[in-house]
A and B are shown apart, each in its own frame.
Chain A
Amino acid sequence: MDRFEPKIIGFLCNWCSYEGADAAGKSRRKYPANLRVIRVMCSGRIDPQFVMEAFRVGADGVVILGCHPGDCHYKEGNYKALKRYHLLQKTLAQLGIEKERCTLNWIAASEGEKFAEIVKEMVKKVKQLGPIDNSE
């Protein structure tokens, strides 16, 4: 398992976090290639079903990124994401998917460095956890 390269799915909101990811790119900040990004308009669009489907199809980790509280382009969508995230994490843990595999963070449009760090951290952590056994 030492060549395990986790697949990480990132759900990024169009306004702050996607811009933050682009900011990392504009300053050529390198981060692991394991991340695959899905853009939604608001982190409040993220349905727990999306996260579950990601795990089902082969993701080893999921990161949810939204705007800092108070900065949401749609006012409080990020808080909805936060609420669902906590209940989802507990439910996933019961389904054998460790809490560390699904994280939520706030990224501002200028926080390219923070974005890159989050990806690095996630990849490192999930490598330690190993792949999810999806066999039945």
Chain B
Amino acid sequence: MERVGVFICECGPNIKDAIDIQELVGFASRLDNVVMTLPFRIFGSEEGKELIKQKIRENKLTRVVIAACSPKEHEHTFKQVLEEAGLNGHLLQIANIREQCAWVIRDKTLATEKAKVMLKGAVRRVIHHEPLEKKEIECVPDVLVVGAGVAGIGAALTLAQKNRKVYLIERLPSIGGKVARYEDLFPNLECASCVLEPELDEVFHKENIQILTCCEVEEVLGFFGNFTVKIREKARFVDVDACIGCGACFDACPVKVVNEFNEGLDERKAIYIPYPGALPNVAVIDRGGCVRFNGGECNACQLSCPFGAIHYDAVEKIHELKVGAVVLATGFDLFDPKRAPQYGYGKFDNIYTSLEFERITNSDGPTGGKIQLKDGRAPQSVAIIHCVGSRSERHNEYCSGICCMYSLKFAHLLKDKLPEVKISQFYSDLCLPAKDNQRFLSDLFKKGIELVRLKAAESIEITKKEEKLLVTYKGIFGKEEKAAFDMVILSPAVEPTQDATKIARLFDISQDEYGFFAEEHNKLAPVSTSTEGIFIAGCAQGPRDIQSSVAQGQAAAGRILSRLIPGERVELAVTTAKVDEELCGGCRLCMGLCPFKAITFDEEGRHLRINEVLCRGCGVCGATCPSGAIRSKHFTEKQIFEEIRGLL
């Protein structure tokens, strides 16, 4: 027999004036199992709380019902009170007679009647409550950074501290992201590798940072403070410790394949290092191109390696990383101009995207830095077209923010390398924010370029006329004009990566309407997401320049450093679900429904099992289970049935 105590809060005049307290007290005291009823001015006060504790002890209460304000206000407080009086906090039920009764019913009689019914429901329910223990685990202070471009590296360097480990994973065989492919950077034309290399070097050698290349995320479980991330590391087939990057293997390799690092402008071998100085400076075999991995016989690279570093039998590895937070810095892809046939890309020669042109100007690129046409001649006239795929109704509505600057940069580079070249920039608006960018344009005028303003970003078409490329466009007055050029450079939009949706789903974050990762708040929370513990940085969040990407990486790191503190404990959900393994017939209908992947199938016992650390207590599985084998703690069928019966 339970001993239920009912405490009725008058809440000053709030409840007292709207409900007949005396009648309510009388009613409550006549309910089954109620051994004590007490009204009071304000139970939330120190005096009120002490009174409750006193009455619990005096009357040896085993269950408590408090009729007061909403449980969303003070449930936490009252649970504490019970604990201090020696009763488990879950042996409490609150009847919300303020927000959902006194404040919403004008007629005192009706309000009192409703309060009675609410008390009846609460008393009947609380009898079936069970004590539940609070569960905590220690948070994992380590962090996973996905993407080793400038944003990811910025985050990793800020995070790596004495008592915190950083895992920096990268899909490609080498780190550095897009910036590793650039030659010079705006707005001061500093050399990209001079800026980047020291950072790469530092991140590569820093003690608390573990870099994993050729890796992709496979599965994410858990929550802030306690994530388990499964990473799939593809095989390099080259021993990272033995290889010194001497290049003997690429010399020996008989196969040539398209070189994606140079945007397909030249070829590389099937065993390769992406570029001289790449980190890690270790070769990797491209299975797609390699003769041996496509059924042929060849071991030229292995034979040529003086260090025995090549192992054809290397296998994929799965890493299970335990981290407390994640920074997603997965970068961007460029709009494929083939989607806009008006630009002639892919149809005619000598039309290049910005990334292709970067590689052409790069001293490590396909032409050794020489700016030349397909037939090897230097161009005498170059058109640079802005907003290819940006600011477009058909493609991307937004401005990609960096193209005007790098388009001007190209003009600078062209003029420096080919002083006589004639350059025309076709644009509809110029986007040159930030401190130093306007000067970049003014300096260019001194070198002599033509700026042609278009009526609209897309009022332009490129065709071939004899040996040249013909640019047909509408100027600001709408008149159609034509001009011929040897070379055309397109500035395509910055778009989310191909796998952005896959990553967003894995980490359970939202994407904005364009597919970029959505920030939690446009102004106040630009690097966090609506999923606690998952942060975003760099172009993965939206088009931005290097300075801004690095800033975001550091910002995400800062947020993590202040929230994920080593030694702190994370509270787990208490009202979790549990499978009765004897009853469970293994129908598996629940498994796919758990949004937190907390349910797994025990192959041996042939029943389902719920991981209590991952379970957040939503109860979906409990409602689904057709065998009644899943019990949702604190919201069991019995408890809810009794509450229903009490309320009617």
Contact = CB atoms under 8 A, between A and B. Distances in A.
Interface of A: 7, 9, 18-19, 21-22, 24-26, 28-31, 33, 36-42, 44-47, 49-50, 53-54, 57-59, 73-77, 80, 84, 116
Contacts of B99: 21-22, 24-26
Contact of B104 (A30, A38, A47, A75): A30
B121 interface: yes
A9 B637 CA distance: 16
Contacts of A58: 648
Contacts of A75: 508, 595
B363 interface: no
A57 B635 contact: no
Chain B interface bracket (under 10, 10 to 19, 20 to 34, 35 or more): 35 or more
Q: Name the residue among B70, B99, B121, B618 with the largest chain A CB count within 10 angstroms.
A: B618
B644 A9 contact: yes
Interface of B: 70-72, 96, 98-100, 103-107, 110-111, 113-114, 117-118, 121, 508, 575, 593, 595-596, 616-620, 622-624, 632, 635, 637, 640-641, 643-645, 647-648
8 contacts: A25-B104, A30-B105, A40-B635, A41-B635, A45-B632, A50-B641, A54-B648, A74-B620
Contacts of A73: 618
Nearest to A58: B648
B99 to A, nearest CB: 3
Shortest Cβ-Cβ A-B pairs, 7 listed: A45-B619, A25-B99, A74-B618, A44-B620, A75-B595, A36-B647, A25-B103
Contacts of A46: 623
B648 A33 contact: no
B644 A50 contact: yes
A44 B623 contact: yes
B575 A25 contact: no
A53 B638 CA distance: 11
A40 B640 contact: yes
Nearest to A39: B71
Contacts of A18: 70, 72
Nearest to B115: A33
B618 A42 contact: yes
A76 B118 CA distance: 30
A59 B121 CA distance: 14
Contacts of B575: 41
A44 B328 CA distance: 30
Nearest to B616: A74
Contact of A77 (B72, B96, B618): B618
A39 B94 CA distance: 11
Given A41-B575, A80-B624, 11 more contacts: A22-B96, A22-B99, A30-B106, A33-B114, A44-B618, A44-B623, A46-B623, A54-B648, A75-B508, A75-B595, A84-B623
A80 B106 contact: no
A109 B7 CA distance: 28
Contacts of B118: 36
Contacts of A77: 595, 618-620
Contacts of B644: 9, 38, 50, 53-54, 57, 59
A65 B110 CA distance: 24
B648 A59 contact: yes
A80 B104 contact: no
Nearest to A45: B619
Contacts of A41: 575, 617-619, 635
Contacts of B114: 33, 36
A83 to B, nearest CB: 10
Given A39-B71, A44-B618, A7 B648 contact: yes
Contact of A28 (B103, B107, B111, B641): B103
Contact of B635 (A19, A22, A45): A45
A25 B640 contact: no
Contacts of B111: 33
A56 B482 CA distance: 81
Given A36-B647, A45-B622, A49-B637, A21 B508 contact: no
A116 B637 CA distance: 28
Nearest to A60: B648
Contacts of B622: 45, 47
B176 to A, nearest CB: 36
Nearest to B619: A45
Nearest to A46: B623
Contacts of A28: 103-104
B623 A116 contact: no
A74 B107 CA distance: 38
Contact of B100 (A22, A42, A74): A22
B463 to A, nearest CB: 46
A84 B623 CA distance: 10
A87 B107 CA distance: 38
B180 to A, nearest CB: 37
A22 B105 contact: no
Nearest to A42: B618
B595 A74 contact: yes
A25 B70 contact: yes
A116 B100 CA distance: 11
Contacts of B643: 38
A9 B640 CA distance: 12
Contact of A53 (B98, B635, B641): B641
B648 A57 contact: yes
Contacts of A54: 644, 648
A120 B96 CA distance: 20
A110 B647 CA distance: 26
A31 B107 CA distance: 11
A116 B104 CA distance: 9
Nearest to B508: A75
Contacts of A40: 619, 635, 640
Q: Name the residue among B105, B508, B622, B648 with the largest chain A CB count within 10 angstroms.
A: B648
Contacts of A37: 96, 100
Contacts of A76: 595
B113 A33 contact: yes
Contacts of A33: 105, 107, 110-111, 113-114
A39 B593 CA distance: 22
B107 to A, nearest CB: 7
A35 to B, nearest CB: 8
A36 B117 contact: yes
Given A25-B98, A40-B635, A57-B648, A45 B620 contact: yes
